[in-house]
Structure 1
Amino acid sequence: MTEIPKMLMIIGAILLIIGFVMQFIGRLPGDITLKRGNVTFYFPIVTSIVISMILTLIFSIISRFK
């Protein structure tokens, strides 16, 4: 039963870090933006890659402590 609070704190910390990082890497060069009239399509491919690398690093650090 003591695992649930620990896991919730880890998830909360990860979400906090992601929110903080998203403030700074909102639109990186390489993200795709298409504008046609009233329609705008935004695909954050480089941002997704950066977030994936950060999450991989975080989860590898967490897995070492288990």
Structure 2
Amino acid sequence: MNQNTGKYIIFIGGIIVVVGIIIYFFSDKLHWFGRLPGDIRYEKGNTRIYFPVVTMILLSLLLNFILYLIKKFF
């Protein structure tokens, strides 16, 4: 391990803390997340199956955009 690895771990930890704070304080505003049109839900009896297809596509696009901006400016 070198110093760069430590910096990356600290950076990722900071991102996790920021996301946690956003979820904690704005959870009532994010009720739509995970219930978008296109997310597949199947409920019958005691069986519940949930595939958040559209939610994961949007999350992937958002993370790719953030990583693009990080690479561009650093």
Fold match (TM-score > 0.5): yes
User: What is the TM-score normalised by the length of structure 2?
Assistant: 0.67
User: How large is the Cα RMSD of the aligned pairs?
Assistant: 2.2
Q: Which residue does 1:7 correspond to in 2?
A: 8
Q: Does residue 29 in structure 1 map to residue 37 in structure 2?
A: yes
Q: Which has the larger radius of gyration?
A: 2
Identity level (%): 38
How far does residue 49 in structure 1 lie from its aligned partner after superposition?
Answer: 0.7
TM-score in terms of structure 1 length = 0.73
| Unpaired runs of at least 5, structure 2 | none
Deviations 1:14-50 (A, max 9, x none): x3465546x5213222211011211011000011011
Q: Could you tell me how far apart the structure 1 residues matched to 2:19 and 2:35 are? A: 14
How many pairs align? 64
Whole-Å separation in 2 of the counterparts to 1:17 and 1:27: 23
Residues 1:63 and 2:71 are matched in the alignment:
yes
Q: Secondary structure at the match of 2:34?
A: coil
If asked which structure has higher relative contact order (CA below 8 Å, sep 6+), I would say 1
Q: Distance in 2 between matches of 1:17 and 1:43?
A: 26
